[in-house]
Amino acid sequence: MAHVLGQNQYGKAENRIVRVYRDSTRHEIKDLNVSVALSGDLDDVHLTGSNANCLPTDTTKNTVYAFAKEYGIESAEAFGITLAKHFVDNNEPIHRARIRIEEYTWDRIKTPDNSSRFIGSEEVGHSFSRNGGEVRTCEITYDGTTVQVISGLKDLVVMNTTNSEFWGYIKDRYTTLKEAYDRILATQVTARWKYSFTGVDNEAQPNWNRSYAHVRRHMLEAFAETYSYSLQQTLHAMGTRVLNNRAEVDEVRLELPNKHHFLVDLEPFGLKNDNEVYYAADRMYGLIEGTVHREGVVPVIPVA
């Protein structure tokens, strides 16, 4: 039986790059983890060992660093689009490029305001502390004609201490979970959203940084303002809020692990636990996943 070479790609993964802007005494930082994957006319590379159509992965790494200097990094999305178009448009055997980027946030360190001694604080223009929380993400694909941009975030931990219930579910002989009419709802959000932007006919790019900030805000507001009867309901409310307010977004996919908080039994100690003391379980956990998209739009964001 004959064997056939299937889908394949190659590139340089996890190129760590920090770009410092020193245009003034108040420095700016962009901290990215960039992964490049290329595909195209690469059969001979696999079948005969000919590297005639192969752009070295070391070259892709060098391009990432050179472009950070030449073009700067205004946003992860814009940087990814520039890279993807370069690899496809300037290398005939390469037909498709996928750029995945994680962006890490740094907060400015503040020191006491010496002029007031005890009141207020001031930023140090060149000193930062790494924010250990959420990570901004994006994935850019370009096939020589159209651009697809999927932005997102991960590791955003949120909690509601009330306004959440869970009851009325299926019960069988193995069900031991007690119905809850006032519970903690907590999750670690992974979100990805697809833009309608295609880059065709010199289509103007959205303001990626502003759009990211607004999408994040709408998800947080929906989480906070939804009286939840299930995490699934909250997921739908978060995705719907984004689509209702951001015309540039066509699809939102959310992955919400339920970070369970269980009431601790304090009766053996003669104490009443009135929804005050909880045990936070890190695993096992319920994993709620779903996509909300505009009517008529075919969803394309894959399950992670």
pLDDT at residue 117 tops 70: no
Q: Are 151 and 212 in contact (CB under 8 A)?
A: yes
What is the rounded CA–CA span in Å between residue 203 and residue 248?
12
Could you tell me if 135 and 252 lie in one domain? no
Average pLDDT of span 120-125:
72
**Helix 76-89 and helix 57-70, axial crossing angle in degrees, nearest 10:** 130
Q: Is there a domain that residue 1 lies in?
A: no
- pLDDT given at position 96: 98
What SS3 class is residue 59?
Answer: helix
Ranking 104-113, 141-150, 193-202 by mean pLDDT, the lowest is 104-113
Could you tell me if 102 and 226 lie in one domain? no
What's the pLDDT band for 29 if we cut at 50, 70, 90? very high
What is the rounded CA–CA span in Å between residue 298 and residue 82?
26
pTM exceeding the 0.85 threshold for the entire prediction: yes
Angle at 197 between CA 243 and CA 34, to 5 degrees: 100
Segment holding 187, helix H or strand E: strand 185-195
Could you tell me if 137 and 168 lie in one domain? no
Per annotation, catalytic residue among 61, 194, 236, 260: 260
State the first-to-last Cα distance of the chain, in angstroms, to the nearest integer: 34
Per annotation, catalytic residue among 12, 30, 218, 236: 12
What SS3 class is residue 239?
Answer: helix
- pLDDT given at position 119: 57
Q: Is there a domain that residue 190 lies in?
A: yes
Q: What is the chain's mean pLDDT, rounded?
A: 95
Closest CA to 198 of 241, 150, 245: 150
Could you tell me if 132 and 255 lie in one domain? no
Per annotation, catalytic residue among 27, 57, 95, 214: 57
What's the pLDDT band for 1 if we cut at 50, 70, 90? confident
What's the pLDDT band for 120 if we cut at 50, 70, 90? low
Q: Is there a domain that residue 208 lies in?
A: yes
Could you tell me if 202 and 58 lie in one domain? no
Q: Are 79 and 67 in contact (CB under 8 A)?
A: yes
Structure-token pair, residue 178: 């007690």
Q: Is 260 a catalytic residue?
A: yes
Q: Which domain holds residue 195?
A: 151-304
